[in-house]
Structure 1
Amino acid sequence: MDLAAARAALQAASRVAVLTGAGVSAESGIPTFRDAQTGHWARFRPEDLASPPAYRRDPVMVWEWYAGRYRDVLAAQPNGAHHLLARLEREKGAGFFLATQNVDGLHARAGSGQGGGRMVELHGNLLSARDEVTGDVFPLAAPAELVTPPTSPLGNRMRPNVVWFGEYLPEAALEAAADAFAAAEVALVIGTSGAVYPAAGLAAETLQRGGIAIEINPVETDISWQMTHCVRDVASRGLAALLGEG
């Protein structure tokens, strides 16, 4: 790839749309969903822990799984990739859009969504839960105080505020992402396999309208063939190279 050309395109762009996946959080020690199925949880299929039928069958077990992931996420810290994306947002302002498939909240903790641009969490957020009756979202109590299943301030049981197998992505977030990628001059796809749709199709929206797409990933993905440029590195180093850091 031509790193100089990719860097110049990103620098010149006033509208930048970013999609991030598990590879961005891997450097913070956050395992992927399946990698987190170790020890006691290794005997379960993903659908046994993260689907509406599993929750109806055993909400206590499902919440035990998510409470452990919640503790792990809070113990992690944003890494260089998170901070560089927050800085890029401050530079681009209202022209910046970040859509993440991650549910760990690390982008927000690094400052994304607070620098003039916009961020959406396509798969929800582990740090919050949703009232099963009203749909209202509330932050979870601190791990030491968390009682599972948790109850909302309205007195109703709450479910994890994440998208499960068999569920649709939140419509408003997906529409906002599609609009942003369609309008973007540059799409950045970072740390995602490109195997899960509709998120994997977002960069194509940019390409179809004459923009360019840049992938940052240490390995080839299902959508690498579409990309204008590919940076073969982990998220933090790839972003640093693209932004001219170091």
Structure 2
Amino acid sequence: MNVLEVRDLTIRFGRRPPAVDGISFSVGEHDRLGIIGQSGSGKSVTSLAIMGLLPEHAQVTGSITFNGRELVGLPERQYRGLRGDEISMIFQEPMTALDPTMRVGRQIGEVVALHHGEQKGSIHMEVLDWLGKVGIAEPERIADSYPHELSGGQRQRALIAMALANEPELVLCDEPTTALDVLVQRQILRLLDEQLRDRASVFVSHDLAVVREVCPRVAVMLEGRIVEEGEVEQIISDPQHPYTKGLIASARIDRVPRDQPLPSVADFYTGEAHA
């Protein structure tokens, strides 16, 4: 059985065109799916829908099931029992995801205590253990620090520790390396590759090269729709949709002839999906 099943998911905000328009995909046990697309393509909204974090005015139709349990329409009280425990999310920007007024160790500890209610001493040791697992050299110091006292890489590692501390079965990664420099980005990708091996995960990014590092499968989103999906190496070597071809070409700008204009997003959208 798939851990995550999304079927005909449509998300609207008011009278505007759908932010997500009838998409379907699945993620099996220990499986990884990358979702790529430009800003506004609907990929992050999809992640928030899975987490049950959309605003109240969002209109959601279709189905999202986690281990066979329907999440669309699930009461918030029941969602809180899943969120941060069985399903977790690594957000794009740690400075907004972390509470600036609370020490990092306490924030991670509260996530553990919320779902498992362990003793304070054992929670503290578990926090330090997870900070060590995500490659932080001085767990005690980092646990006792506020977010603004840490580097971007340290904050992202702390956020990963928080997301994984309860051993979730499904992890959603929403642009987890976007705000990092290239060296730290590669370190975080290696860390995620290691830590997500025994979990189902969805990795959202605008960067196909980043997704290629950690995901065997990829879905390409454009204007709220999945226009192409398949094995990442197959899609890179033989893309079918014009937008996918443009994404790959943009990653190889040095190979594009100087007299050939770079394509725009508007040139790629045909309104048709390619499997």
TM-score (normalised: structure 1): 0.34
TM-score (normalised: structure 2): 0.31
Structure whose CA Rg is larger = 2
Higher strand share: 2
